[in-house]
Every structure is written in C-alpha cells, then in structure tokens.
Amino acid sequence: MPRPLKRPEQPIDPYKAQALPLGRPAAVYYRQSSEGQIGNVMTTLQTIDMIQHLLDRGWVRENVHMIDADAAVSGTKKIRERKGMSQLYDMIESDQLGLVASQDVDRFFRDVTMIETNKFIEACREHNVQVMTPRMVYDFTHPVMGSSHIRMFREEAQRAADYLEYQIRGRLVKARHSRSAGGMWSGRKILPGFMVDCRAKVDEQRNPDYRKYKRFDLYADVTLRYFELFRENNGNLYETWHQIDRSGPYFPDIPEGAVPEGFKATDHLTRRSPFTGGLTPSHTGLAYMLVNVAYIGHWIHMNAVVAWNNHEPIIPLDLFMHAYNRLSPTDFHGEPNPNYVPYRPWIRHDKAERTAVPPSYAGLVYTDDLPDHPHKRLATIWNVVADKYEYLLNEYPYRSTVWKLRAFILDGMVDAMLLERLRDTTIDETAWAAALASVENVDQSELRRLKAAIRQAETAKDNIIANLGMISNAEMVARAQARFEAADREIVELQAELTRIQSGKQRSRSLADARPALELVIARWNEVPNEEKRALFEAFARYIKVTKVTRHTKHITVFWRDGSTSERSTTHKSRGYFWDEEELEKLREMIDSHVDQWEILREFPDYAWRSLQERYAYRYGNGYYPKHYAGKKPYNRHARWQDTAEYQAEINASQLAVSGASTDRS
C-alpha cells in the first residue's frame, strides 16, 4: 500500500520568541523564609500581584493554581523537603502545567551546590514548561535561546545563594551573634515567662536593660508552676507533661494590652492540648524549659553560658536545680554534672541472658485496632518481670501500652497455621502451583520506583562532581562532599532494597526445588529452627493481623500470598477465668453430651484433662467434677491432646499422605 501524503510542515523561525502557553494551566509558587515575613509586602507581591500578572497576560482564573504550602520554609532545602515545591515538581513531571510563575528566581532556590536547581531546570525542559518572573520568561526548550535561558536561570539562582551565604550569614547573622554574645536578645524566640525590653532609652537616658529579659507575669506564674509540678512528681518528666497536657495549668492567650508598650513577649507557642485545647509546651519543649539557665538569670549563646546574672531570675535557685540535676548530665560549664540523678536510669541487659526464644515473626505482625493508625506494626519487647517476649500495641505519646500478647502464644499459633498450609500445599498439585505463582508476583511498581530513585541519586552525584570545579569556598566544598556522601549512602540503601525485592523472583525457583525437602520439614516440624519457619512463612504469606476481641482474647489472621486467609483465636491460650462464655458453653455441651475424652482434648489442645474437669467444676458443678460423664475415657487426668493415640494416628496419616503424594510425582 503506498504511503499517504501529508501537508508539509511549516519551518520554525528560531529567532521568534515562543508564545506563552495560554492553553495550558499555570502555577504561582509562593515561599517565605520565616514566619515573621508572612504577610509582608513580599507576600502580596508573590500572591495577589503574580496572579493578576498572569490574568493580564491572558490566562483565565480557573487555570491558575496557587501553591502556597512553603510559608516559613528555607529555599536552601531540597525539592522533596518542601511540601509546596514537591507538589509543584510533581505537577511538572505529570504534564499538568505549561508555565510556572514566581516573584523572583530566589523564591525557587537558594541552592549553593545547584543540584536541586539543575533538577528543576531539567524537569521543566523535558516537559516544555516555561518559568516566568515579572522581568523575564525563561524558555529552556527554545531552539536558539534555550541554553542561554538555562544559563541565566542558573546565574540568578547562584546569585541568590551567594547573597544568602555571604550577606545574610556572613554579615547580618554575624552581627546578630555578636549582640547575643553580649547578653542581649537578638530576635530569637522569647523564653516563656519573659518579655524583652526593647526601649533603647528611658527618660532620654540610655536604657541599661535594653534588649534584656524582664519578668512577664502572665506566663511567669505558669512557668513557676511547671517547675513545682516536676518536683511534686519526683522528677518524672513524662508524668509532669502528661498532667499538664490533661489538666494544666495552660499558658493563656495574651490579651491586647497585656504586654507593656516598648516590650515584646513570646508569640511562638502554638501547640494545644488535644484534651482541652489549652496552650501547652510539647514534651521536648517542657524538657528544654526545665534546664534553661535563663530562668535563674544567666544568658546562653551557642549552647554556652556567656553572661552570668544577666537579668532578673523568675525561678528560685533550689527549685531550678532540682529539675536541672535530674535532666542535665552536664553542669553549667559543660562538664559532667556530679549531681546528675536521672529519674529512672535504664540498664540494658545482655540479650544473651534472656531465657525465652526471640519472637519468630517480629516485623510481620500488624493490627487495625487504632482508628487513626490502620495497619500499625506491633512492636516486640522483652518483659523483664515475666521473662517473656511480647508483641505490643502502643499509641504514642499518650498510651505506652494499648494491649499486648505473649510472643510464644502468637508464634505457636502461626506455626500451626503454617504447618497446616504446608501440608495442604505439598499434597495438592493445584495449591502448589498457586503458591509458586503467588511468590512470583513481584510488585513491579515498587521496582520501577526504586530504579528511578537510584537513577535520580546517581544524577545528583554527577551534578555535584560537575559543580565542584566552580566552588572555591572551603565550607561549600565540605557541604558538597557531605551531599555526595549522602547520595552515595542513599544509592547503597536503595540497591539493597531493590535486591531484596528482586530476590522474590528467585524465591519461586528455590521453593520449587525445595519441595522434597518440605516434606521432610513437615515430618520433623518440631525440630525446625525458628529462623527457618520464618523464612517459610515469608515464602507463603504476606503478613499477620491481630485484632483484640476481649481483654484476654485476640483474633489472629494470616494473609497468604495466594489471597486466602487462615484464622485462629487465642482464647485457649488464656487461663482460668479468662475463658470466654462461648468456650465455656462448648466445654459444658461436650461433657454433658458424653463426647469421648480424646475429642474433648482435641478441641482444647492446650489443657490437660484435669484442667478441663476443674473448669467445669468451677463453673457448672458447684465445685465437683462431672460425675455424670459417661464418654469413653482411656487416658489419665494429666493427659493432653498430644499424649493421645488419636493425635499420633493423625500425624502418621499426614506423613503417609505426604509420602504417597511424593511417590505419585516421581
């Protein structure tokens, strides 16, 4: 068939400026470096004026997106460390934008190494996205000016980074440090309980307390109470903070006129109690308050006391030292604190001294019992009192323990379900084929994500090397080296994760080769080490979910790789009055119906016959064993299910079935 003809393409004039992409959406990116800058003139220029600038150029309001999630975020941070910039980058990568606008290039980046800047340029170039400022439209894909626009954008970003490095940090920050080293407030957050005297002169005379702390009664009384509560709780920081969070006292909202004219008080406290809504410090914030020597009049600069008795103290010395000696391992001079007496020194014992076997399935057990944290992984802990490992559900920071389950109980039940699955799978050819197919099902999207992350990290390393020749400042070289090493470590971690996932592809072949060995494993299950049981579990299952039913009953579900599940209850593992009503009723019905002894033992495999009789007597027999029971009873009172001939017969039958299936295949 002859090729169809088409209309000749019009040649592109390389010297004609590219038209603005009015048919594609545009985004306005807003960023301010600190909270104090939010709402100033620059905020108006970056938001209202920039949007109007795009509307004047022909965009409709519905196609202009405002990205303002980076208020009080430094431009030196990476793309993925800034919520707004990360959102903008993803929109560029997914071809959702035709143009990005901002008040200036320094709103995008102040990156000394230019790594993040180059990533942004490359993304815009690949997806044909223009970058607009009020003075310039950068088109990185222009056939003639594209390379010039890239160079101009880089130079603007480099000038912004240099200004930050040499003007802001080199001069302004240095001046601020000089003022702080002299015992004067330099603009940092004001400690709760104080206000700053900002009056340079008083009665036309130089103010000796200029920029120094003064007592702020509205907060000072609350702060004093915090120190008192810490002493009342015998130095227990968590209990003190928990008490404050639930019942106060809280810092009041500062009413208008409460701060005298010429003074400035703290306005940085924003955390509120989830119980009452009162203004409180965080757990870490309270700890910092209780060891801050400014409360007894000393002044700190760069974590060292530089001015003694610099201002009026608001906490009595003995009360402050009580808190300081329980929280600070160093004294006022940075030397070891000889009076340091922590509330509860913790001694970590050698794990080799523990008598219990470590949990087999640590890291594979989850629960949905916390509504705000579905699929939460259970922690594994060592119970010092019980000398047992436990799976623990905690709800940080308010509940260290929601519920817990002894590890040997869960591990034993999962082992039993795994053994049952192995028996069924090795005997049934269809089940075996399904097991192999489920193991081969590797998450391809995760593989692609890891490979892309590795390529991105390698590109970052190449960019660092390419830019080292442009850097002469020793500190900048050190930072570039640190970023290079961080990228190198990231690549190693990503490759390890990639290898782990790709190993799943080999697991199916290993599993197929291991089928004869599995039959031997089933026959000698009690001799299999826990590590091997875990490896088998990971080959056949994805994870374990535990759900609380009652205080002493948990429901355990194993999610197999073929999509099926197995379920068990821990009720039988509980002792005495921890039995559920359903289980007690089942025991009563079986005894009253004269079911043979071995069947009752099989239904309650974790109990001896004597224990079952005692449970019946306690609940239904007024303290007497069931004398009316007439079922066959060939075993003594100490016998368990594992001691019966019926149990041994079931085991032998299972082994014969496995052996027969193996013979048929051969």
Cα dist. 185→180, 202, 209, 219, 391 in Å?
6, 18, 10, 18, 50
Region 397-401: mean pLDDT is 68
100 — phi, psi (to 5°)? -120, 130
* 509 — pLDDT class (breaks 50, 70, 90): very low
H and E: helices and strands count for the chain: 20, 20
- Residue whose tokens read 């995008």: 108
What token pair was written down for 265?
Answer: 């008080």
- Could you count the other beta carbons within 10 Å of the beta carbon of residue 262? 13
- pLDDT at 221 (0 to 100): 93
Model confidence at 34: pLDDT above 60: no
Q: Select the more confidently predicted residue: 390 or 624.
A: 390
The answer to whether the bond into 626 is cis (omega within 30° of 0) is no
Q: For residue 131, what are the β-bridge partners?
A: 100, 138
As a whole number of angstroms, the distance between CA 603 and CA 620 comes to 19
Residue of 211, 217, 139, 221 lying closest to 180 (CA atoms): 211
> Is there a contact between 539 and 511 (Cβ–Cβ < 8 Å)?
yes
Burial label, 452 (beta-carbon count in 10 A; 0-12, 13-18, 19+): exposed
Region 323-342: mean pLDDT is 90
Which has the minimum average pLDDT: 582-586, 593-597, 636-640, 651-655?
A: 651-655
* Domains recognised in the chain with CATH numbers: 26-167 (3.40.50.1390), 194-327 (3.90.1750), 354-573 (no CATH), 575-665 (no CATH)
Model confidence at 222: pLDDT above 90: yes
> Is there a contact between 611 and 605 (Cβ–Cβ < 8 Å)?
no
* For the chain, percent of residues with pLDDT exceeding 90: 22
- pLDDT at 441 (0 to 100): 52
Average pLDDT value over all residues in the chain: 80
Radius of gyration of the chain (CA): 35
Contacts of 586 (CB under 8 A, 6+ apart): 603
572 — phi, psi (to 5°)? -65, -20
As a whole number of angstroms, the distance between CA 310 and CA 197 comes to 13
The distance from CA 473 to its chain's CA centroid, rounded to whole angstroms, is: 36
> What are the pLDDT digits (tens) for 268-310?
788 999 888 899 999 989 999 999 999 999 988 878 888 899 9
As a whole number of angstroms, the distance between CA 544 and CA 557 comes to 6
Q: Select the more confidently predicted residue: 326 or 477.
A: 326
279 — phi, psi (to 5°)? -80, 120
Q: For residue 524, what are the β-bridge partners?
A: none
Q: Select the more confidently predicted residue: 469 or 556.
A: 556
> Is there a contact between 606 and 639 (Cβ–Cβ < 8 Å)?
no
What token pair was written down for 372?
Answer: 């705000």
**β-bridge pairing 379-383 and 553-560:** unpaired
- pLDDT at 571 (0 to 100): 65
> What are the pLDDT digits (tens) for 401-428?
888 898 988 998 999 898 888 887 655 5
- pLDDT at 322 (0 to 100): 93
Q: What CA dihedral angle connects 69, 270, 192 and 274, to 10 degrees? A: -150
Using a cut of 0.75, tell me whether the model's pTM lies above it. Answer: no
- pLDDT at 100 (0 to 100): 93
Most confident range, picked from 257-266, 285-294, 476-485: 285-294
- pLDDT at 195 (0 to 100): 93
User: What SS3 state is found at 65?
Assistant: strand
Which amino acid would we find at residue 39?
Answer: G
Which has the minimum average pLDDT: 297-301, 459-463, 608-612, 640-644?
A: 459-463
Q: What angle do CA 468, 469, 472 make, to 5 degrees?
A: 80
As a whole number of angstroms, the distance between CA 642 and CA 639 comes to 8
Model confidence at 227: pLDDT above 60: yes
Residue of 170, 507, 547, 196 lying closest to 391 (CA atoms): 547
Helix-helix angle 407-427:530-540, to 10 degrees: 60
* 225 — pLDDT class (breaks 50, 70, 90): very high
Q: Select the more confidently predicted residue: 226 or 452.
A: 226
- pLDDT at 41 (0 to 100): 45
- pLDDT at 466 (0 to 100): 67
Positive or negative CA dihedral for 611, 616, 618, 623? negative
* 444 — pLDDT class (breaks 50, 70, 90): low
Model confidence at 451: pLDDT above 60: yes
- pLDDT at 664 (0 to 100): 55
Region 244-248: mean pLDDT is 91
Model confidence at 432: pLDDT above 70: no
* 40 — pLDDT class (breaks 50, 70, 90): very low
3-state helix, strand, coil in the chain (%, to 5): 50, 15, 35
Model confidence at 57: pLDDT above 60: yes
Model confidence at 154: pLDDT above 50: yes
The answer to whether the bond into 249 is cis (omega within 30° of 0) is yes
Contacts of 107 (CB under 8 A, 6+ apart): 29, 30, 31, 46, 75
Region 589-593: mean pLDDT is 91
User: What SS3 state is found at 141?
Assistant: coil
* 510 — pLDDT class (breaks 50, 70, 90): very low
What token pair was written down for 393?
Answer: 């559900």
Model confidence at 142: pLDDT above 90: no
Look at the chain and count its residues: 666
For residue 303, the 8-state DSSP code is T
As a whole number of angstroms, the distance between CA 497 and CA 592 comes to 58
- Residue whose tokens read 């050190």: 478
> What are the pLDDT digits (tens) for 357-374?
899 999 899 999 988 888
> Is there a contact between 494 and 447 (Cβ–Cβ < 8 Å)?
no
> Is there a contact between 30 and 46 (Cβ–Cβ < 8 Å)?
yes
